[in-house]
Structure formats: C-alpha cells, structure tokens
Amino acid sequence: MATATLSPPSVTPPTYHRIVSPTLTIPSDPLKPIPVGLLACQRDPLLRELTTTAVSCRESPAAAPPSNGRENKKKKKAAPAPTAPLLEIILHDTIIFPEGGGQPSDVGILTSSDGELWDVIEAQRHGGHAVHYVRLKPEQKVEHALQIFAPGALVGVALGEEGYKRRLDHACMHTSQHLLSAVLENKLNLPTLAWSLTAWPTPSYVELPRGMSPEEIASAQEECNRLVFEGRSVHVEVEELHDDNKQYDTPSVGIPDDYTGGVKRTVVIDGVDRNPCCGTHAPTIHNLQLFILPQIETLARSSTSSARIYFLAGPRLIAHLTSSHTLLASTAAIMSCGAPQVPERVQQIVDERRKATKRVEDLEAELAASVAERLLSSVAHKAEGENEGGSLVLHEHRTDDSVNALAFLSAITQAFANKIGEREKSGEKAPRFLLVLSSSPSAQTSASTTVVLIFGSDDKKAKEVGDELKGKLNVKGGGKGTRWSGKFTGVWKDGREGAVVASIIDSVRM
C-alpha cells in the first residue's frame, strides 16, 4: 500500500509560474538584477542550484545584516565571529529567497569561479533587489572577494542541505498559512490580521480578531485537511504592478511600500484562495496535513483585542509529533504505565506528594517542639530554690538532608521561644540562654554547606559569637537582634569545627 510521504515533487511543475501579462518579461541582461518577484526561487521553489552572474559586490558597512527580528538559532551558531567582514552581493538571479511577506530569509552557499565556497547567512530585499549577505571565513579576504565577484563574473548559487531543509519547511508553513487563512475567512468570516512564521521547530500562528471555540477549530482543521487530501495545486500569477492594481480585496500583508520591483505576484491555491505574496510556495498542498493547536492565546492591546491560533504542517508537524511522542513515551516508562494512563498516574503522584509534604511539615513541627523541650530541660540553675530563670549555653549539631536545613533550625528556635513564653505566662522566670545550632548534610564534600543559627536572650552576645564564627571558621553570615545565621563551606567535623564552636561558647558567661 502506498503511504504518504513528505517528499515534494522533485521538479516544480511548469504550470507553477505563470506570467499573465503579455508585456512582462524576465530581464536577461546578465549585468542587471532580476527584480524580487521574478527571482528563480520564486519561479521554481524546488530548484536547489543555479549558475548566474555577479552584478555588484561591496563590503557591508554593518557587522551584522539588518535584523529581521527572526534570527535563526542554527544560523547564529554556524556563523563565525560577528567581527568577520560581511559582503553585500547582488546577483543577476538567485535561488536564495530574501526575507519578505512574513517569510524569513533563506541561507545558502555561493561558489566563485575559482571553486571557493562563500556562506550566505541572510538575504534581504532592498527596494526591488535581493542582497546576499556573505560572512567571510578567516582565510577569505575582502580584496579577493571584490575581484572574484566583479560585475559579470560567473557565480554558482546553492541552498545546500541545511538551506534546502529550511526552504522546504518555510514553503510548507507559508502555504499552509494561506490555506488556513482562506478557510477561516471563507468558512468563519475570520480575517487574518497578521501571522508569523516562527523559527523552527515552534508552531507558527495567525492573529485573528477573536478566539475560536473548540468546534470552530475542529471544523477549520477538517476543512483544511479535506482540501489537502484533494491535493489542490498551487500556482503563481505575475504581472506588472500599476497604481491601479495595488489594491487587493483579500486580507493580506499586501505589497510593502518600499517595494520597487514593479511586479505584482498573486499566489493561487486552486479554487480556494488568491493572495498577493512574494513567498516561495509549495507547488501543491498535497501532504500538507494541517494541525491547529487547541490552545488559543488572547492578546489584549490598548485599542483592540485579538487572539492567536497556532498551527503546524509539513516537516514541522512531523518533528512535533516525534518530540511529543518521545516525551510521552519516556514519561510513561518512568511511571511504569501505558501512555494513556500517564495523566492519571501523574495526578496520583502529585496528590501523594502533596500529602507527603504535609506530613513532613507536621512531623517537623512535632520534632522541633520535642528538640526545644529537650534543650530547655538542660537549663542550669545556680542554686536550689534561687528565684531566677537559670542559664543555658550550648551547641547542638544535626545531620539533615533537607533542602532547607536552616528552616528546621529556625523552627527549633521558634518552638524554644514559644515554650519560654508559656513558662513566663505561668509565672516562671525566663532563663538566659545562647543556642548555637548547626546542620550538615549526611554526605559532605569540600563544596558542602553547613548552616549555623545562633539564638540568644542577649543580642550583643549572639552577635559576638557570630563574629567569632566568622573569624575562626570563616562562616559567612550576619544577624539581626537575637538571631544570627551563616553558612560554612566544606566538611564539618565534630572534632574540628565542632570543637572550635565549643571553645567559643565556653567563654560565654550568661
């Protein structure tokens, strides 16, 4: 059984590009550039290579091509140091599409007559011409480039493997956008206000005057895919651009004000849509199964409101399915269940986790109170029956793998303070005290952190002990009032760091 693939036809059908005006011809003078609108990439979107001639070459005054705000990550990564010189080359013809109509620029490779390869990192339309931005490699010199790309010199233009993949993706997403916008307009009376061909592999979006119900999304998607299965063809009609044919009655980005190529280009999806556009479209919508993401993003702007709906098609849809499936399958493996059980299992774990967290909190509170009670029970009294609260100076070290060990130490001091408060209420005198609490993880390395908390009835003494810890153990910290906290980095040993603490508090007299 034949299965659908994403391979486009290997050649663009001859009926794709139609010059519908008897007076319009493609300029043939090799020293003059063909205007944007009639470029080889627009006549034949599946062409991967072309031999043409150089029209002009100069060193770009800018270190980076003017940003189109849609910088491709891969391209950025591949580009050498941004300080490398940049050339601006205009060719008689090109298959490297200059950014326009919402479609980002292609990337590609030029071959000069001596066989050297030159990286085109971006192409842009300046007025009516495509300008190729070539980033020089370290061994390539500007003087040599100016010679080899002299007017009339032969130049090979290629998209290369990466460039062709990028082209195919852009063509699929752009043509799908025309299809989706036409269906939304015709079926739901929803005009497309704007759209964005986002960077691979994220979903692209169309902006609409309002959100869509799940039923509307389903019906728009079904209608698009019905047309896809019919395999409607796509072609382009080109004629001269006059003042009186600049206006279109279809919703569209339209013809840019600075466009001086003199050509009006209409992209037609057979029986579905006619739209002015300069993009490199797939010659058929066959295989462009369209998926609309069910989430809607509502945008509130000062004067108007609009909504974005995201969509995927072509290679981007396959990439999305692959990554979604991989994520789901690996989550199912972790949960030891089938993919359909994943939401239920995750919910169960989240619920269990919530209960476990609550139980740990309750047990910590109970333990903190118990530790505080034990500490308070070791308050020493000078003499039996003496009418005073007694005194307590001690260091208590704990081993705790909590992510927030200081919080537990704090809970102990809080419980300690509460218990003293209770005793005072019942008429007892409060003891004078200074507690040094510390807590280390069970497995320590030179990068481990031991937290220290000092709590005392006398803020001056708490600060004094804190300062000594700073000086003798390099504990980084500070405090306010009766509390002082800090962090020690390294391995904390009872017989070493513990002994230093003991010697410090030994001299404290309460």
* Contacting residues toward Zn ion, per CB under 5 A: 101, 277, 279
The least CB distance from residue 263 to Zn ion, in Å, is 15
The least CB distance from residue 119 to Zn ion, in Å, is 27
Q: How far is CA 3 from CA 6, 7, 168, in A?
A: 10, 11, 20
CA distance 320 to 165: 16
Which residues are CB-contacts of 12 (< 8 A; sequence separation ≥ 6)? Answer: 43, 44, 45, 46, 47, 283
The least CB distance from residue 226 to Zn ion, in Å, is 22
The CB-nearest residue to Zn ion is 277
The least CB distance from residue 276 to Zn ion, in Å, is 8
Q: Which is nearer to Zn ion, 45 or 431 (CB)?
A: 45
Helices marked H in 105-253:
142-148, 160-188, 214-230
Residues in the chain: 510
CA distance 45 to 96: 10
CA distance 408 to 131: 65
Q: Which is nearer to Zn ion, 280 or 413 (CB)?
A: 280
Q: Which is nearer to Zn ion, 174 or 395 (CB)?
A: 174
Q: Which is nearer to Zn ion, 65 or 101 (CB)?
A: 101
Angle made by CA atoms 96, 98, 102, in degrees to the nearest 5: 125
* Backbone dihedral region for residue 231 (phi beyond 0: left; psi -120 to 50: alpha; all else: beta): left
CA distance 402 to 395: 20
Q: Which is nearer to Zn ion, 16 or 455 (CB)?
A: 16
Q: Which is nearer to Zn ion, 119 or 273 (CB)?
A: 273
The least CB distance from residue 253 to Zn ion, in Å, is 7
The least CB distance from residue 194 to Zn ion, in Å, is 12
The least CB distance from residue 21 to Zn ion, in Å, is 21
Token look-up 């509170």 returns: 365
What are the structure tokens assigned to 235, written together? 């072609």
Residue 87, SS3 per DSSP: strand
Cis bond leading into 201, ω under 30°?
Answer: yes
CA distance 291 to 311: 6
What are the structure tokens assigned to 78, written together? 């591949």
The least CB distance from residue 7 to Zn ion, in Å, is 23
The least CB distance from residue 347 to Zn ion, in Å, is 43
Q: Which is nearer to Zn ion, 101 or 389 (CB)?
A: 101
Q: Which is nearer to Zn ion, 88 or 99 (CB)?
A: 99
Residue 120, SS3 per DSSP: strand
Q: What type of residue sits at position 462?
A: A
Q: Are 447 and 430 in contact (CB under 8 A)?
A: no
What are the structure tokens assigned to 359, written together? 């139980």
What are the structure tokens assigned to 158, written together? 């290629």
Q: Which is nearer to Zn ion, 250 or 444 (CB)?
A: 250
Q: Which is nearer to Zn ion, 261 or 479 (CB)?
A: 261
The least CB distance from residue 135 to Zn ion, in Å, is 28
